[in-house]
Amino acid sequence: MGKKFRMVLAVILSIVLVYSAARIVMTEIEYKKAEDIYEKSQNEYFHFLDKTAPLWQEADNLSSEEYFPDVYVDFKALRTANPEIAGWIWIPDSSVNFPLLRAEDNRKYLSLSYDMQHTDSGSIFIDYRNSPDFSDDNTVIYGHNMNNGSMFGSLKKYSDAEYMDEHRNLYIFTGERIFKYRVFSAYKTESGSRSYTLSFPDNTCFFDYIDYAVTHSGYRMDFAPESKTPLLTLSTCTSGGQSKRFVVHAELISVKEYDKALPAS
């Protein structure tokens, strides 16, 4: 009886090991698929025009608000690939460098890449209730928290004070403008919490929200919005349960008209 039990146990353990190994292999294949998809998008559509400058650093002779990176995004080709492209998000010196999607609901791009391939990594996408021109009081952008740090997996680094201070600026490119935002808050929250408020009817509501965001932030920056300005909220899943989220709030600090023409090389 004991020998038969050990044999059955050995078979069960072997099956578990094979299944676990297969899951690991499949996960790695999925990661590689998404990596290839988005590396291809960056190579084809996102172009650094000045390849000699350290692009994540602000120019010494310009204020933070005035400086814009020398970047060109080929929106004509992007929107030929997918008309639901709303823009492009880039956080310098990070892994966040992706096309932005917007659909008729928040489910479509959970498991679809920007070029409509099925992938567990999905896409980075704007809340369907938000305007695609980033004119709302608070535009919310979602992305998966992948275990390999891809997609919005690196947002959790904003829990670290040094990282937050060194990655305070982020950019949204559209076919018409470049929006420059400055991060002022990052923290864990619940899905559907006050963090996801999209509009503020008056200044009182706006500054109540700012106080809420600053109070909950794991690290307090030495600045926060001093007047009503459009906000950006980046959201991803985090550990602790299905409803747990990690959010990063940023304020719009500058806008530049976008030069659609790619300069001759």
Domain-embedded: residue 12? no
Question: pLDDT (tens digit, 9 = 90+) per residue, 184-212?
Answer: 999 999 999 999 999 999 999 999 999 99
Tell me how long the chain is. 265
The proportion of the chain whose per-residue pLDDT surpasses 90, expressed as a percent, equals 63
Q: How far is CA 175 from the centre of its chain?
A: 19
Phi, psi at 56, each rounded to 5°: -85, -5
Q: How far is CA 212 from the centre of its chain?
A: 22
State the Cα–Cα distance between residues 180 and 107, nearest whole angstrom.
27
User: Which of these, 160, 185, 182, 174, lies nearest to 249 by C-alpha position?
Assistant: 185
From residue 170, give the alpha-carbon distance in Å to each of 64, 108, 173, 208: 11, 25, 10, 24
Task: Say if residue 13's pLDDT is above 70.
Answer: no
Domain-embedded: residue 264? no
**Cβ atoms within 10 Å of 91's Cβ, excluding its own:** 23
- pTM comes to 0.85
Q: What pLDDT score was predicted for residue 183? A: 94
Phi, psi at 247, each rounded to 5°: -125, 150
29-37 LR contacts (CB < 8 Å, sep 24+): 30/119, 30/120, 30/121, 31/121, 31/146, 31/148, 31/150, 33/117, 33/119, 34/113, 34/119, 34/120, 34/121, 34/146, 34/150, 34/151, 35/150, 37/113, 37/114, 37/115, 37/117, 37/119
Task: Say if residue 14's pLDDT is above 80.
Answer: no
Q: What pLDDT score was predicted for residue 15? A: 66
Question: Looking at residues 148-168, what average pLDDT do you find?
Answer: 92
Domain-embedded: residue 140? yes
Domain-embedded: residue 11? no
State the Cα–Cα distance between residues 76 and 28, nearest whole angstrom.
32
Q: How far is CA 171 from the centre of its chain?
A: 11
Between β-strands 124-126 and 138-142, what pairing exists: parallel, antiparallel or unpaired?
Answer: antiparallel
pLDDT interval class at 145 (50, 70, 90): very high
Question: Looking at residues 226-233, what average pLDDT do you find?
Answer: 93
Domain-embedded: residue 210? yes
Domain-embedded: residue 145? yes
Q: What pLDDT score was predicted for residue 264? A: 46
The number of domains in the chain is 1
State the Cα–Cα distance between residues 63 and 52, nearest whole angstrom.
21
Residue 110: CATH number of its domain: 2.40.260.10
Domain holding 67, by residue range, is 45-257
Domain-embedded: residue 89? yes
Domain-embedded: residue 32? no
Q: Across all residues in the chain, what is the average pLDDT?
A: 86
Task: Say if residue 125's pLDDT is above 90.
Answer: yes
From residue 199, give the alpha-carbon distance in Å to each of 130, 183, 194: 10, 19, 11
* Paired tokens of 42: 């960056």
